[in-house]
Amino acid sequence: MLIISIIAFVLSLGLALILTPQVKKFAFKIGAIDVPDARKVHTKIMPRLGGLAIYAAFMIALLLALPFVAHDLTVRDTNFIKAFLIGGTMIVMIGALDDRFQLSAKLKFVAQIAAACVVVFGFDISVNVVNLPFYNTHSALESWISIPLTILWIVGVTNAINLIDGLDGLAAGVSGIAIATILVMSLLMGNMMIALLCMILLGAIIGFLFFNFHPAKIFMGDSGSLFLGFCLAMLSLLGFKQIAVVSLITPLIIIAVPLSDTLFAIIRRWVQKKPIFAPDKGHLHHCLGELGFSHRQSVLIIYGIATFFGVLAVIQSSAALYDANWVTFVVICVMMFLLQIGAEVIGLIGKTTRPLLNLLARLRMKESAESRSK
C-alpha cells in the first residue's frame, strides 16, 4: 500500500497544480471573491473557492487509488473512509456556498454539526476508548460521553483552522504540517489506511500552496479552511482510536497552533467583554504583524511553531509505545509553559494581561533584592 500511497501523493499534487488555476477563473466568474476591509491584510480583490481545488484533487486521487488497496482495508477502514468522504463533501458544500453568498455563522455551525452527526450516527465513528496519560489501562467511554465529545471535537477543530486563515498560505501550511505529523505517526503505528489519506491530502495541499503562498493568487476560502479542519479532526481521531500506543493528549498537541489560537481568542474576548464570535485583529498572525514581522516572516514563524508541536506529538506518541509516562508529563509541561509565555509575549490575550511574565518579573526582583541585602 505504501507504493500506491506515494503514487497517489504525486497524482494529487499534480491535480492540485492543474485544477487551482481553473478554480481561480471559476471563482471570478461566479463572483466568489474576497474584498479588502479594515480587518483583512490583503489590499486587492482576491478569488476564493481554492478549497474546491484541494477537495477535487484529493477526491480524484483517492477514488483512483482505492481499487488498488481495497483488499487491504478492513470493514472499519471502509466505514472510516466513507464517513470521511461524505462528511467532507458536506463541509465543502457549505464552505463553497459561504464563499459565494456569505452565509450566517449560525447556519454554518448547524451544517458542521450535521456533518459531524453523519460521521457519528451514520458510520459509528466515535471516541469510545482512550488510553489516558500516566495510566497503562484503557478507559471505555459511555455513549452519552463519547458521542457529544466526538461531535464537539469535529466541529471545534473544523472551526479552529478557519480562524487562523488570515495570511497567505497560513491555514494550508499549518494544516499540512499537522497532517504530515499524523502521517509519521501512522507509519510508525503501521496504519497504512490513515497514511494513504494523509499522503493524498498532503499532495493536494502542497499543490495548492504553489498558488496560495505569499503573494497569493487565490484564497482557499471557507471551502478550504473548513474542509481541512474537518480532515484534521477526522485524521486526528487516530490518536484516540490507536488506544494501545497513543494517549488522549496526542491529538491536542498535533493541532496545538489552531486550537491554542482559538482558545486565546475566546479568553481575550471574555476578558475584554466582547462577544465570543466577534471578529477581531488579535489572532497570532495579527500580533506577529504588529511586532514588525513581515507577511512572509509571520507565516514562516507560525510554520516553525506548528513543526515544533508536531515533533512534540511524535515524541510523545513514540514514548507511549514504551509506557514512558514521564515523557508525556515533560511534553505537557513544556507545551503549556511555552504556550502561555508565547501568548503573553506576543499579546494574544491582551497587551497588558501578562500574569506569568509578571510573576517571573516579581520573582527576579525579589531575588535581586535578597542578593543586595546580603
Joined together, the cell numbers standing for residue 216 give 497569493
Residue with cell string 500580533: 287
Q: Does 79 carry a binding-site annotation?
A: no
Residues 6+ apart with CB under 8 A from 357: 341, 344, 345
3-state secondary structure 179-191: HHHHHHHHHHHCC
Using DSSP's 3-state secondary structure scheme, residue 126 falls into coil
* Cα separation values, 182 from 42, 187, 195, Å: 32, 9, 8
Joined together, the cell numbers standing for residue 304 give 516553525
β-strands 33-34, 129-131: how paired? unpaired
First vs last C-alpha separation in the chain: 69
Q: Does 212 carry a binding-site annotation?
A: no
- Calpha distance 255→161 (Å, rounded): 9
- Calpha distance 148→262 (Å, rounded): 20
Q: Is the dihedral of CA 274, 275, 279, 283 positive or negative?
A: positive
Q: Please report, to the nearest 10 degrees, the dihedral formed by the alpha carbons of residues 341, 342, 344, 348 taken in order.
A: -150
Q: Are 298 and 287 in contact (CB under 8 A)?
A: no
Q: Identify which of 316, 306, 362 has the alpha carbon closest to the alpha carbon of residue 338.
A: 306
- Extract the annotated binding site for Mg(2+): 162, 222
Binding site residue list = 162, 222
